[in-house]
Structure 1
Amino acid sequence: MVNKTIKIKSGKVAKIIGGKEIFIVAEIGKNFIQTEEERPIAEYLRNAKELIDAAAEAGVDAVKFQTHELSDEQLNVPIVGPHAPSFDRYPWVRRNTEATPIRFWRAIKKHAEKRRLVFFSTPMSRKAAEKLDKVGVPIWKVASGDMLDYALLDYMFETDKPMIISSGQVSLAELDGIVGHIRARGIQFALLYCVSHYPCPKEFFNLGTIEHFQEKYPEAVIGFSDHSIENIDIPLAAVKLGAQIIEKHFSLSRDLFGTDHKVSMTPGEMKSLVEAIREDQYKKVNHKLYYGKKTKELEGAKNHMRPSFNKALVAARNLPKGTTLTKKMVYAMRPIKLIKGLPSEKFFEVIGHKTRAALKKYQPISWRVLKK
């Protein structure tokens, strides 16, 4: 029998993922940003600690944030996110980067551990992962939009830390490719079934995929990242079908300024969900309402967010003609639909090739500019 439990330790806080208890994650993300006008870092830190306190009171196991590093994530081109059409991505990512220097992450990690919670965060680029590695996260989370960012994944693979990956914006074939890399390195991992719509209507869910994942990836802990609102029956149905991780966005109020507040659970709602899971109320839920088909293709390239959130390869610095590409010379940056470069899943393929001409920093990398 496959031993798929993942033991993690955040400071002195130890937890088991895939054990007898469901691992419940409050996805705070960047919900510490709550006003349209920019505020001091100290205020963001207070907001983050208040959210951690509320999550602890609700009874969750972990708090998860999102970590941005503008310089290797978002190219300076005008584009709005499809899930938040009023937000120009470049200034939004810049604001998130400037709001969260490494001292911010160290402070909230310490506060989370003080409240007996595991702290981790989703890095949105390789440099963001490097920052979090210095902070000491015990596990990696890969966002659905970064599942094909092999510049980022490569860094995670090298650390040998366990990983949580998400299925929201990949096809089954793309997911198999990622899992193949993880398996080859013997890394422990969890896989979250996810539908990347914000908020997600109940008719979009196909929770039968959870059972399919359990059979297809027996060594993985299977969970559910839920973007529904005001209906705890959907995550409860996921638990009934075998999900061992439940991740929900978390905010003090859905009326606050920001991209994710509107799809978040409030403290009272999170407390109700945690109690329902711990008290086995999921057994009473009619899971067939959300089951769909056991075997069904994932959204993959059809997902409306991919053109804005997937990445293309660009030069990480000025490169003279004839330069042999190394990993540190290549960034994977958003948005692929406005960058005429190779998709980020080609990262490993371009390493070792020489440039045909000099490339400027952030210039797209295509086969046209490389010697084969």
Structure 2
Amino acid sequence: MKSFTIGDRPVGPDEPTFVIAEAGSNHNGDIDIAKELIDVAAKAGADAVKFQTFRAEDLYVEDSGNVEYLDDERSIYDIIESMEMPYEWIPELHDYCNEQNVVFMSTPFDERSAEELEPYVPAWKVASYTSSHLPFLQHLAGTDKPIIMSTGAHELAEVRESVEGLRDAGVEDLVLLQCVAAYPTPLSDINVQVVKTLAEEFNVMSGISDHTIEPTTAPTAAVALGAGVVEKHFTLDKDMEGPDHEFALEPDELNSMIAAIRDTERALGGGGKRVLEVEEELHDKARRTIQAVTEINPGDQVTRDKINILRPGEQKQGLLPKHYDEVVGKTAAKHIQEGSGIQWDDLEE
């Protein structure tokens, strides 16, 4: 897996987790709210703010009926139509993100929206429900941008078909996200281990698009399993009108999530086992070594009653415990004080 960049941010196995703050349609049709969401994400330390760009007529059949989880009497078509982000916002939000030093992204749900977004986004985020739309994936592949693709509501075999389609179309920079298409997702169903499965099965960067209400549990677990990308919905206020606010994080929760991700990265470290600088004092004072428990004079035989394997504290360190049987029976070459550690140069050859 090689690293690549999204905007000015590196994404890769040895890079910091790329955190996408998913604003989605939580702007509620107000560009000032959209900009406030950008402010919140930038302040929290997100790498990118992502919106959603679609047109209802390109997304749903008009007579689409209702969706129970939204608890809204309107048809899903009418709800989606009310959530459309005006295309004319795109350059303005892109520029505003640049001013706030955060990457602008938006998920396109159709070719028309992708064409509007193409000059302004450094990478594509593919929604779960679009991830088996192979003609659309090929359309995105033709732009030569990295692709981050959610995999909710799809079997592993279906994900494989999409990955093969993208690779056949020349996509090299690809991230697959574990995602569960339930809003919110019960913690017991988020199945973070799939982050590892996706990475191992397809030899790609993987991550998570998390819809649980918990701010930190699934994201930090995913990072611990090697996630290179974490995506999470956020809002200004869960009580705002709209279908995606209730399960989204509020600003303080977004702050907590990103702080927890960075703490998890620090805690994971690099994987190499060595004595660290912070351990040096206790390395010297608390590791057990061979110490004299009585005064030993030159010419004395070192017997078991004269030594023990103890922590030296501020006394001279002795040999490691593995040398105990070699030391027993040796003759002292010099005076050894009670409590002092015994080294080879204290003994006759």
Output the CA distance in 2 between the equivalents of 1:245 and 1:89: 30
Structure 2: gaps (5+ residues): 269-349
Output the CA distance in 2 between the equivalents of 1:239 and 1:83: 29
Equivalent residue in structure 2 for 1:61, among 39, 47, 66: 47
- Does 2:23 match 1:28? yes
Aligned twin of 2:9: 15
Q: Measured at CA, do residues 152 and 185 of structure 1 come closer, stay the same or move farther in structure 2, by a change above 3 Å?
A: closer
Higher RCO (CA < 8 A, seq sep 6+)? 1
- Does 2:31 match 1:45? yes
- The alpha-carbon deviation at position 185 of structure 1 amounts to 2.7
Matches within 5 A, 1:1-372: 2-3=1-2, 5-9=3-7, 14-18=8-12, 19-33=14-28, 44-86=30-72, 87-97=74-84, 100-133=85-118, 135-187=119-171, 188-218=173-203, 220-280=204-264, 283=267
- Paired residue type of 1:256: M
**Is the CA contact 2:138–2:169 (under 8 Å) kept in the aligned structure 1?**
no
Q: Residue 159 of structure 1: SS of its match in structure 2?
A: coil
**Is the CA contact 2:215–2:256 (under 8 Å) kept in the aligned structure 1?**
no
**Is the CA contact 1:121–1:140 (under 8 Å) kept in the aligned structure 2?**
yes
- The alpha-carbon deviation at position 128 of structure 1 amounts to 1.4
- Paired residue type of 1:176: R
- Paired residue type of 1:214: A
Q: Residue 83 of structure 2: SS of its match in structure 1?
A: helix
- Paired residue type of 2:51: F
Q: Any idea what the Cα deviations from partners look like across 1:167-203, whole Å, max 9, x if unmatched?
A: 1111111100000011223311100011111111111
TM-score (norm 1): 0.68
Output the CA distance in 2 between the equivalents of 1:61 and 1:174: 29
Structure 1: gaps (5+ residues): 34-40, 285-372
Output the CA distance in 2 between the equivalents of 1:82 and 1:171: 23
- The alpha-carbon deviation at position 148 of structure 1 amounts to 1.9
| Segment of structure 1 superposing worse, 145-154 or 102-111 | 145-154
**Is the CA contact 1:23–1:61 (under 8 Å) kept in the aligned structure 2?**
yes
| Segment of structure 1 superposing worse, 251-260 or 209-218 | 209-218
Q: Any idea what the Cα deviations from partners look like across 1:246-285, whole Å, max 9, x if unmatched?
A: 100010111111111111111111111111221237859x
- Paired residue type of 1:254: K
Q: Measured at CA, do residues 282 and 246 of structure 1 come closer, stay the same or move farther in structure 2, by a change above 3 Å?
A: farther
- Paired residue type of 1:57: K
| Matched pairs, number | 265
| Segment of structure 1 superposing worse, 77-86 or 115-124 | 77-86
**Is the CA contact 2:105–2:124 (under 8 Å) kept in the aligned structure 1?**
yes
- Paired residue type of 2:37: L
- Paired residue type of 2:81: R
Output the CA distance in 2 between the equivalents of 1:73 and 1:208: 31
**Is the CA contact 2:128–2:151 (under 8 Å) kept in the aligned structure 1?**
yes
**Is the CA contact 2:178–2:207 (under 8 Å) kept in the aligned structure 1?**
yes
Output the CA distance in 1 between the equivalents of 2:66 and 2:15: 42
- The alpha-carbon deviation at position 93 of structure 1 amounts to 2.3
- Paired residue type of 1:96: M
**Is the CA contact 1:194–1:226 (under 8 Å) kept in the aligned structure 2?**
yes
Q: Any idea what the Cα deviations from partners look like across 1:88-128, whole Å, max 9, x if unmatched?
A: 2222222233xx33221111111111100111111111211
Output the CA distance in 2 between the equivalents of 1:96 and 1:204: 28
Output the CA distance in 2 between the equivalents of 1:241 and 1:202: 17
**Sequence identity, in percent?**
35
CA RMSD of aligned residues (A): 1.7
Q: Any idea what the Cα deviations from partners look like across 1:134-159, whole Å, max 9, x if unmatched?
A: x4211111111111223322311221
TM-score (norm 2): 0.72
- The alpha-carbon deviation at position 71 of structure 1 amounts to 3.1
Q: Any idea what the Cα deviations from partners look like across 1:199-226, whole Å, max 9, x if unmatched?
A: 11111122221111121121x2111111
| Segment of structure 1 superposing worse, 74-83 or 262-271 | 74-83
Output the CA distance in 1 between the equivalents of 2:143 and 2:218: 34
The ranges of structure 1 where at least 4 consecutive aligned residues each deviate by more than 6 angstroms after the TM superposition are none
**Is the CA contact 2:138–2:165 (under 8 Å) kept in the aligned structure 1?**
no
Output the CA distance in 2 between the equivalents of 1:184 and 1:150: 11
